[in-house]
Structure 1
């Protein structure tokens, strides 16, 4: 049983993944009405408007990272830090559907253009986000676009996530496994995987999309995940928080 490997994907392929995710998101956002935007999501306290405002902020935030990196500088992800991020989301959440669509279109166009302008050296420029490089930021943007598209509840839930994306999530979210736990993941039709190295072993079986959704704190959509310990059915383990960005 092996651990999920870190995703290795070429910058050209990553740009393709980003463009596809952005196109789907823009199309779905453009089809929302004002009433749709005000509707609640499964994220506590957030409407679709909050999710769209967050996505706009994320896209502009990573664009900002690249802009400064190209000048040899690093800057925090959001103007005003986490407090600024939260305030911007609350201020924009109540916008009309048309305003959200236009803002998102502009933000996605900005960040995709900037990533598309990078040469091989540019992809390795340092950014403040998680003390990484531009390539890491692009991976994170892909993750944000795909997961939050699912949060919008517009027919692109976790069941549509590719196996490649799911494996990436399993690797990225391995830090959510409690210190005393080792998860034996048994995705249907695929080779088993392992997360964590604790003494308490729990086997979890189900579709890989459902396992990835659960690890990401989302509702599995393809079936019921089954957890077992010492051959007995048990509750799914309580996961640790999402990996936190480096404080900048």
Structure 2
């Protein structure tokens, strides 16, 4: 978990949404059809997912304020897949409008919360509104990088990278312990196995690799017992919803 306050989390979400919106301004219909590094997904799929996640986050908070629980996605996992496929082929203008509406809905309900209401329970991961808002932060920042519009992992803040590394600890397989050596920062250890692999490089590259994305700076090096080795294979994302 991260120690940023709820007010700071709302600021981070607002900034992330603004970054996405700014990058969509010059997007063309042709750009929407371009493939991404996510298998089988075009930019249109990522854009549809961003909008759908925003709506889902809003629903979690809206229902929580009424004392009710609701599935994260309307229609469950099948509804998620169907909505993404249905909306992926929209024009650039349609994506911009859809995302703008979804951002407004999500940020309005989160921005109107009283401090105690951030702790209201939601169905997502049996957590609370704060938990789903943190997930929303991850989704917006990471999927903006997936759009390949000039805001890749190299632009991720130190705060976000450290939070993401903590969240992704469960991706380290049981036999391993990873000693992370980010340049110019103190070392970190994730995992509790007896076999140690050291991974050194830029903090943003380490966070990108742990999140299943391609490191932008290409600085990562892995060593075990003083010998160079391949980067370890990680377990799946520890998330109730993750695009690919």
Q: TM-score, normalised by structure 2?
A: 0.97
**What CA distance in whole angstroms lies between the structure 2 residues aligned with 1:127 and 1:143?**
18
Match of 1:168 in 2: 163
Match of 1:66 in 2: 61
**What CA distance in whole angstroms lies between the structure 2 residues aligned with 1:79 and 1:17?**
26
Q: After superposition, give the CA deviation of every residue in 1:44-91 in whole Å (9 maximum; x if it has no partner).
A: 000000000000000000000001000000100111100110010000
Gaps of 5+ in 1: 1-5
**What CA distance in whole angstroms lies between the structure 1 residues aligned with 2:218 and 2:45?**
28
- What is the root-mean-square deviation in Å for CA atoms of aligned residues? 0.8
Match of 1:101 in 2: 96
Count of matched residue positions in the alignment of Structure 1 and Structure 2: 241
**What CA distance in whole angstroms lies between the structure 1 residues aligned with 2:37 and 2:48?**
16
**What CA distance in whole angstroms lies between the structure 1 residues aligned with 2:26 and 2:86?**
22
Q: After superposition, give the CA deviation of every residue in 1:121-154 in whole Å (9 maximum; x if it has no partner).
A: 1100000111110011111101100000000000
Match of 1:151 in 2: 146
**What CA distance in whole angstroms lies between the structure 2 residues aligned with 1:240 and 1:50?**
24
- The runs of at least 4 consecutive aligned structure 1 residues that moved more than 6 Å come to none
Match of 1:227 in 2: 222
Q: After superposition, give the CA deviation of every residue in 1:11-64 in whole Å (9 maximum; x if it has no partner).
A: 111111011000110111222000000000000000000000000000000000
Match of 2:199 in 1: 204
Match of 1:133 in 2: 128
Gaps of 5+ in 2: none
2:36 equivalent to 1:41: yes
Match of 1:193 in 2: 188
Match of 1:55 in 2: 50
